[in-house]
Amino acid sequence: MQVGLLGAGGLLGSEIARQARARGIKLSATRSAEVDARDERAVMAWLDKTNPDVLIICAARNAGVHVNIASPADMLEDNARIAIASIGAARRARVPRLLYCCSGAIYPTTAQVPCRESDAGTGRPEPSHAGYSAAKELGLRFCRAVRAQDGLDYTAILLTNIFGPGQNYDPSRSNVVASLIARIHAAKAAGDSEVVVWGTGDATRDLIFVEDAASAMLGLAQVAGPVDSTINLATGREISIKEIAATIATVVGYTGRLVFDGSKPEGARRRVLDASRLAALGLAPASSFSDSLQRTYADYIGSLALI
């Protein structure tokens, strides 16, 4: 089996590439600087050279809630272009199986929690990431349309919040875990008595360690026979922002106060995904949240040494 990977430079893509090579899987991986996933001709040329049996599309423009609120048009445009160009190129090349990295952010605010795949794309998502969600939903609908029209095994993978070594720790652009690690570490280093966290802290998330996410993606690539058109890639465990922040403070060794500012946006009030389809395939995540945070914090400290 030959696996193709678009977006090998990002958090998930780089870990998929690392694990694939460690397992001896035949892999053709490319970064955005080498093949622009928004350019169908470029993707087609790359597919002609690599001829994968499975294509994994990790290419995306990702950011935290700050950027999603400030730049919805940019988030929509880039991610929609990636979906149309990359899935379209794979379809024209008749790649038999495709795994498109979609997002749990597309679930409507009215969806039952934990969110089940059947509810994906059935209503309006959380407004704070409307542009990003619209583009990702387009990719999901394209995969479903290709399955219906062409009979190809194309699947939208609804990713929950991924964290781990190698992520972007810039608080203005990163996800909740990376942002809190950077800000709480900075407060400890400066001797600050408190850290202000956006939102009430009562909002919940489903967090998956990048190694677990990459392992599951490769497992899905190797499943014998067709898989479902939509699969949640998540732990199915719900954790509040307050608990996330408190656990990070413990890992960092910060003893000051965590102050929650309810006047600031915090995204969806509850987000946890039903992981039963993944578990049924024997691909359930196994890492401990606390241990994963320890490793992520060690990576952050290492990144500071490089500055």
- Which pair of tokens denotes residue 286? 């196994």
Sheet with 97-101, edge to edge strand ranges: 26-30, 2-6, 54-57, 97-101, 153-159, 230-233
Assess whether the previous peptide bond of 114 is cis (omega < 30° from 0).
Answer: yes
Q: Which helix (H) or strand (E) holds 36?
A: none
Phi-psi region of 7 (alpha: psi -120 to 50; beta: other; left: phi over 0): left
List, in sequence order, every residue forming a beta bridge with 258; answer none if it has no partner: 195
* Helix, strand, coil shares, percent, the chain, to 5: 45, 20, 35
Active centre residues (catalytic): 132
- The CA distance from 278 to 247, in Å, is 27
CB proximity list for 21: less than 8 A, separation 6 or greater: 27
Contact 6, 58 (CB under 8 A): yes
Q: Please, what's the b/e burial string for 287-302 (b: 16 or more CB within 10 A of its CB; e: otherwise)?
A: bebeebbebbbebbee
- For the chain, report the end-to-end CA distance as a whole number of angstroms: 40
